[in-house]
Copies of this chain bind each other. A is one copy, B any other.
Amino acid sequence: MGGMEEKFKAISAADFFYRNREIAGFDNPVRSTYTICRELLENSMDACEAGGYLPDIYMRLRYVEGGALEIKVEDNGKGVPRRYVKRAFGQVLFGSKYTLRQTRGIFGLGGKMAVLYGQITTNSPVHVTSSTGGMEKYSYKIMVDIERNEPLTKQEVVERNHGQWHGTVVKLKFQGDYARARPKIVDYLRHVAIIEPYAQLTFVDPDGVLYFFRRKAGYMPRPPLEVLPHPQGVDVETVRRLAERFGQGSLIDFLVENFHRVGRRIALKFLRKARLDPDMDVVELLRREDLIPKLVKAMNEFDDWLPPDPSCLSPIGKELLEIGIKKELKPEFVAVVQRKPSAYSGHPFIVEVAIAFGGGVPTSSQGEVNLYRYANKIPLLYDVHNDVSMKVIKKVKWWRYKINPESMPIAFFVHVCSTKIPYKTVGKEYIADRPEVEYEIEWGLKEAARRLKTYLARKRREESLKRRRAA
């Protein structure tokens, strides 16, 4: 017995995601077409907002030889610094999104997956032109060496950057299926236009149809700031890394300098409760295997930390959300609610919800409800039935508010923003049901429903008054 020996080998991160691309939303040509549009658009939105520029994004799809599609996405964002372009487009797990701050693309994968998918279906490189607004504008043709996870530069051109242009243009070919992906892509763009009324979006599809979403607001939400990790949410690995970087010094200084909203007073109170010596050297902490787990457990369980500061979050705000909803749906009535910041396991989050009624809002069909879901401004279009928002909508007793979401022209909007959205999959499709998040969504929707109830009651009174007067 024994058989032949197993073949052991290492594969690169690019190779892993190439082999398992379905987990990043590339399971078939239809889905891949949608995912590519979405990922490139989201990168563009992030690049604009990170630079403080009102987004103006142009996306074009067209058919090219061999039945393939070519996508071009052009933005007016801050651009990619020249020394990073090759790796930003040609190396998986390289990016600017590995910080504690609310960004759309937490996985730093999507753009590269689009490049990779284009390459494995058409064998052609991605074309990138970018500038950060300086003297140079640079263009590259890049492929990915999948087995090594390294960029392969096929062409490099540097020109003078006239007029201080800043932004990025990405162009790539891929085998897709636009005809069947169209409904999702258009639905996606409309979702974006609602939540980002300060963005101008132009999409020209392969049949030459133009979709134009006009900018209706001249300002953006305050951009998110980067923050230190909150002590309630850290794990052993995070603390170990921070301790190694800290080196020699006292435990109390370590806590105060490395964690979110930890002052000397609270740190001292915590250490006393955890029975740890404030003057212990951090080098000592690293020497003994059991000390960091003990410290982390105590940090996670301590109740008196200050709650996380939501400055690392960038909610839309009531005003912008209302502008967006009115612009795209033209409802008779809309109630927007922004909940106070909350947190789950040390990750701060804010829930914003809205209910729109009447006017251009369609009555939902066949027992479905109109639900627009967003996480960190990303529209979520798939797997609605697994999402926490749908769970809440099914739970609430709407008749108490004299509302029937299945027979009245009503649309719900839920936006969750957080430094860590509890996604269930890399494909970013739905939010897992953390009780804290569920609670905020529920009470937000109930508050909005109360306002709608008041509106409807007044409307009924006025109508009956009118009728009586007319009689």
Nearest chain B residue, comparing its CB with the CB of A66 = B293
Contact of A84 among B8, B94, B132, B293 (CB under 8 A): B8
Among B10, B95, B240, the residue within 8 A (CB) of A94 is B10
Interface positions of A from 280 to 338, Cβ below 8 Å from B? 289-290, 292-294, 297
Q: Hey, which chain B residues are within 8 Å of A68, CB to CB? A: 293
Q: Which chain B residues lie closer than 8 Å to A132 at the CB level?
A: 2
By beta carbon, the residue of chain B nearest A13 is: B13
Give Cα A380–Cα B292 distance, bound, in whole angstroms: 36
A264 within 8 Å of B (CB atoms): no
Q: Which residues of B contact A107 (CB under 8 A)?
A: 16, 20
- How far, in angstroms, from A98 to B147 measured CA to CA in the complex? 13
Asked if residues B237 and A53 are in contact (CB atoms below 8 Å), the reply is no
**A23 interface residue per 8 A CB criterion:** yes
Asked whether A341 is an interface residue with its Cβ less than 8 Å from the other chain, the reply is no
Per a CB cutoff under 8 Å, which of B51, B93, B95, B290 touches A123? Answer: B290
Q: Could you tell me the distance in whole angstroms from the C-beta of A187 to the nearest C-beta in chain B?
A: 21
**Stoichiometry (number of copies):** 2
A122 touches B (CB below 8 Å): yes
User: At the interface, yes or no: A358 with Cβ under 8 Å from chain B?
Assistant: no
A121 is contacted by which of B95, B236, B289 (Cβ under 8 Å)?
Answer: B236
Chain B residues in 8 Å Cβ range of A2: 51-52, 78, 132-133, 166
Name which of A3, A53, A423 has the most chain B CB atoms within 10 A of its CB.
A3
Pair B293/A123 contact, Cβ less than 8 Å: yes
Report if A162 contacts B (CB, 8 A): no
Contact A12 B93 (CB under 8 A): yes
With an 8 A cutoff between CB atoms, is A471 at the interface?
no
A3–B223 alpha-carbon span in the complex (Å): 10
- B119 pairs with A237, CB closer than 8 A: yes
Q: 1/0 per residue A165-204: CB within 8 Å of B?
A: 0100000000100000000000000000000000000000
Closest to A98 in B: B11
**A327 to B422 Cα, complex, angstroms:** 41
**Do the beta carbons of A241 and B147 come within 8 Å of each other?**
yes
Residue of B nearest to A288 (CB): B123
Report B-chain residues with C-beta under 8 Å of the C-beta of A53.
1
A407 within 8 A of B: no
**A25 CA / B386 CA spacing, docked (Å):** 16
CB of B426 within 8 A of CB of A20, answer yes
Q: Give the one of A133, A223, A297 with max B CB within 10 A.
A: A297
B237 near A5 with CB under 8 A, answer no
CB <8 Å contact, B81 and A5: yes
A53 to chain B, nearest CB (A): 6
A422 touches which of B22, B166, B175, B425 (Cβ 8 Å): B22
Determine if A432 is an interface residue (Cβ-Cβ < 8 Å).
Answer: yes
Q: A273 within 8 Å of B by Cβ?
A: no
Which residues of chain A in 409-438 are interfacial with respect to chain B, using CB atoms and an 8 Å cutoff?
422-426, 432
Decide: A237 and B120 in contact? CB cutoff 8 A.
yes
**A265 at the binding interface (Cβ < 8 Å):** no
Q: How far is the CA of A11 from the CA of B122 in the complex (A)?
A: 28
Say whether B20 contacts A99, CB under 8 Å: no
**Contact, CB under 8 Å: A93 / B146:** no
Q: Do A424 and B22 contact each other (CB < 8 Å), given the known contacts A27-B432, A147-B241?
A: yes
Complex Cα distance, B289 from A124, in Å, reads: 7
> Cα distance A94–B123 when bound, in Å?
27
B93 near A16: Cβ-Cβ < 8 Å: yes
Chain B residues, CB < 8 A from A106 = 20
Residues on B with beta carbons closer than 8 Å to the beta carbon of A50: 3, 6
Closest to A121 in B: B236
Most B CB within 10 A of own CB, among A22, A240, A293? A293
- Give A residues with C-beta under 8 Å from B: 1-3, 5-13, 15-16, 18-20, 22-23, 27, 50-53, 65-68, 78, 81, 84, 87-88, 91, 93-96, 98-99, 106-108, 119-124, 132-133, 146-147, 166, 175, 223, 235-237, 240-241, 289-290, 292-294, 297, 386, 422-426, 432
- Give 6 nearest A-B pairs by CB, closest first: A6-B96, A120-B237, A10-B94, A13-B13, A1-B52, A8-B84
17 contacts between A and B (CB under 8 A): A1-B53, A2-B78, A2-B132, A6-B78, A8-B94, A8-B96, A10-B91, A10-B93, A11-B98, A12-B13, A13-B93, A20-B106, A22-B432, A23-B23, A27-B432, A120-B236, A122-B293
